[in-house]
Amino acid sequence: MKLEFDIASGDFSKAGRASSRIKKMLKQLQVDPKVIKRIVVAIYEAEVNVVAHSVGGKMLAEIDGTGIRVIVQDNGPGIEDIEKAMQEGYSTASKAVRNMGFGAGMGLPNINRNTDEFTIESELGVGTVLTFRNNF
């Protein structure tokens, strides 16, 4: 099963819609709630990142009997220093994003913590691609 979502830049009123749809789907499939929580927290962090940091992007989720694989791809601006971005506490978030309770530099490390497989690739001026997977 494949689900695809567009994620608009800066639109915090819609941030979380994709995560919410995927959560409902996994619940319907009667996946273990602990597994659901880990993957939806990762998806939600990734979704908020696209809204907060990028010019927009999309998310693709593939679910089969063994697990869920998620690809989150944005159209830029790309991450200058991935190593730094993966460090807890490092953030380039705006004041507006911080005022909403995000931007503490915990998103990417939290995605890593909540997934079984995780890769991040980024190119300045092109964009960032996150791929992660959790097994059921």
Partner 1 sequence: MKLSEIIDLTNAKVVAGDAEKDRELLRAFSSDLMSDVLTLDTEHILLITGLTNLQIVRTAEMADIEVVLLARNKTATPEMIELANETGLVLLETPFSIYRASGLLFQNGLDPVY
- Residue 23 C-beta: closest distance to partner 1, Å: 7
Q: Which is nearer to partner 1, 43 or 63 (CB)?
A: 43
Taking the least distance from each CB to partner 1, the nearer of 76 and 105 is 105
Q: Which phi and psi angles does 121 have, rounded to 5°?
A: -130, 140
Return the amino acid letter for 45.
E
Q: What does the binding site for partner 1 look like in residue numbers (CB under 8 A)?
A: 12-13, 15-16, 19-20, 23, 33, 37, 40-41, 43-45, 48, 100-107, 110, 113
47 three-state secondary structure: helix
Question: C-beta of 99: minimal distance to partner 1 in Å?
Answer: 8
Q: How far is the CB of 35 from partner 1 (least distance, A)?
A: 12
State the alpha helices, DSSP H only, in the chain.
17-28, 33-53, 82-85, 95-99, 107-113
Decide: helix, strand or coil at residue 78.
coil
